[in-house]
Amino acid sequence: MLVVMNRDCSANQIDRVCEAIRDLGFEPHPMPGAERTVVCITGNKGVVPIERFAGLEGILEIIRVSKPYKLVSKETRSCDTVVAFGDRHIGGGETCLIAGPCSVETEDATMRIAEQLRNLGVGFFRAGAFKPRTSPYDFQGLGHAGLEILAKVKNELGLRIVTEVLDAAELSAVAQVADILQVGARNMHNTPLLKQLGGVEQPVLLKRGMAATLDEFFMAAEYIMVHGNYNVIFCERGIRTVSTHSRFTLDVAAVAAIKQLSHLPVLVDPSHAAGISNMVEPLGYAGMAAGADGLIVEVHDNPSAAWCDGLQALHPSKLQEFIRNMNALRELLASTRCSS
Ligand code: PEP
Ligand code: MN
* Whether the CB of 270 sits within 6 Å of ligand 1: no
Q: Which of 117, 168, 173 is nearest to 146 (CA)?
A: 173
Looking at this protein, which amino acid is placed at residue 17?
V
Mean predicted confidence (pLDDT) in 191-213 = 97
Q: Name the band, by pLDDT with cuts 50, 70 and 90, for residue 161.
A: very high
pLDDT tens, residue by residue, 93-138: 899 999 999 999 999 999 999 999 999 999 999 999 999 999 999 9
Q: How far is CA 170 from each of CA 36, 135, 307, rounded to the nearest angstrom? A: 38, 21, 22
The answer to whether the CB of 28 is under 6 A from ligand 1 is: no
* CB 207 less than 6 A from any atom of ligand 1: yes
The whole-angstrom separation of Cα 139 and Cα 308 is 8
Say if pTM beats, i.e. exceeds, 0.75: yes
- Which CATH number among 1.20.120.1200, 3.30.420.40, 3.20.20.70, 3.40.50.970 corresponds to the domain 83-339? 3.20.20.70
| pLDDT bucket at 140, cuts 50 / 70 / 90 | very high
CA atoms of 38 and 3, how far apart (whole Å): 6
Q: Given a cut of 70, is residue 88 above it in pLDDT?
A: yes
Asked if 103 and 308 touch (Cβ cutoff 8 Å), the reply is: yes
How many whole angstroms from 11 Cα to the centroid of ligand 2?
Answer: 46
Atom 9 (ligand 1): residue with closest C-alpha? 185
What are the b/e assignments for 230-249, b being 16+ CB within 10 Å? bbbbbbbbbbeeeeeebbbb
Average pLDDT, the chain: 95
CA-nearest residue, atom 10 of ligand 1: 185
Domains of the chain, by residue range, sit at: 2-63, 83-339
Q: 268 forms bridges with which residues in the sheet? A: 236, 295
**Dihedral (Cα; 166, 169, 171, 174), 10-degree rounding:** -80
Residue 316 has pLDDT above 80, yes or no: yes
Distance CA 205, CA 320 (A): 24
Q: What pLDDT score was predicted for residue 64? A: 86
Name the percent of the chain lying above pLDDT 90: 87
Q: For 26-83, what is each residue's pLDDT tens digit?
A: 999 999 887 889 999 998 888 888 888 989 999 999 988 888 899 999 999 989 999 9
Q: Does ligand 1 come within 6 angstroms of the Cβ of 272?
A: yes
More confident residue, 233 or 77: 233
Decide whether any atom of ligand 1 lies within 6 Å of the 185 Cβ: yes
- Taking the centre of ligand 2 as the mean of its atom positions, its distance from the CA of residue 298, in whole angstroms, is 7
Q: For domain 2-63, give the fold.
A: Alpha-Beta Plaits (3.30.70)
pLDDT at 66: 82
Instruction: Indicate which atom in ligand 1 lies nearest the CA of residue 185.
Output: 8
For residue 340, the model assigns a pLDDT of: 61
